[in-house]
Amino acid sequence: MQKFLTDVHTHSTYSFDGQSALADMLETARAKGLAFYGVSEHFDYAYLLGGWAEVMTDAERYFHGARHLQEDYEGCMNVLIGAEFGYTDDARAYAYYKDIQEKYRPDFIVNSVHSLRENDYYDGDPFREKNEKGEVVFREKREVYKEYLGLIRKSLDAPYDYDIVGHIGYLTRYAPYEDKSMPYQAFAAEIDEILKTVVKKGKILELNASGGVDGFLLTADILKRYYALGGRKISYASDAHAVEKVAYCRDEAVKSLKEIGFTHITVPCKGEYIKVEL
Ligand SMILES: [Zn+2]
Ligand SMILES: [Zn+2]
């Protein structure tokens, strides 16, 4: 049986941090033989809260331009036009995402935690606090990681539709600690709560190749636990922001998924979940 290649959750210059134009990303994906390619530009209300309106994706421009390109690839490659919502625990954020959903009907939605309130883990602020002398010091790793996992758990109950739970472990990319890892054993209770909820809600867990302690966000120990709890819906994402990263480390990802026992990748498209053999 033919194995279809998938990469669902990528970016282009429609996002503030994208480096390659969507047309170039799509041409690279086609050249690499991908059957399903999903683009999911950033929609992050936290940036508005932080006063960075200039980095917000222009939804009208994005969906209009991307839908045209999607038509161009019809019959040649399944291009999915999606969105990555940055979960922000704020009613205004929920309204903003619902509005985007209703207006533009993305083919799929990735729900990701990037920020603690308006502070992206990328900038390091969630790792810092002031001590009693007023000096800026690093917070205790366990406290920061548990808080992050608590946010992920909350994001699963977001009052808007989403398909994929994005890159669990995102903060390990930017953590200032010598040991940045977030092993299952050390946070078993919090991680179990998340995984059981993902299974119960029928959402898709994402294996994301954009970094982290061992090169992937969602480490093998957490994937194994998800499988043991009955989780079977998994997606692969390069989270590419530039052409060089399209389908990055996909073979390694597939190998580790097969070793655990997974037989399929799940591709969400307009509310339908397509099973693609690994
Ligand atoms: Zn993300
Ligand atoms: Zn992303």
C-alpha separations of 109 from 59, 106, 191, 259 in Å: 14, 7, 22, 28
- State the residue range of the domain holding 90: 5-277
Confidence check: pLDDT of 212 > 60: yes
The answer to whether the predicted template modeling score (pTM) of the entire model surpasses 0.95 is yes
Digit-coded pLDDT (tens) for 99-149: 999 999 999 999 999 999 999 999 999 999 999 999 999 999 999 999 999
Instruction: Output the CA 42–ligand 1 centroid distance in Å.
Output: 8
Instruction: Output the CA 208–ligand 2 centroid distance in Å.
Output: 9
Q: Which ligand has its closest atom nearest to the C-alpha of 217?
A: 1
Query: How many of the other CB atoms lie within 10 Å of CB of 149?
Result: 21
DSSP 121: G
% of the chain residues with pLDDT over 70: 99
Q: Which ligand has its closest atom nearest to the C-alpha of 87?
A: 1
Instruction: Output the CA 243–ligand 2 centroid distance in Å.
Output: 14
Tokens, residue 269 = 């498209």
**Environment class of 111 (CB within 10 Å of its CB; exposed 0-12, middle 13-18, buried 19+):** buried
Instruction: Output the CA 84–ligand 2 centroid distance in Å.
Output: 6
Number of domains present in the structure of the chain: 1
CATH number where 254 lies:
3.20.20.140
What phi and psi, each to the nearest 5 degrees, are found at residue 189? -65, -45
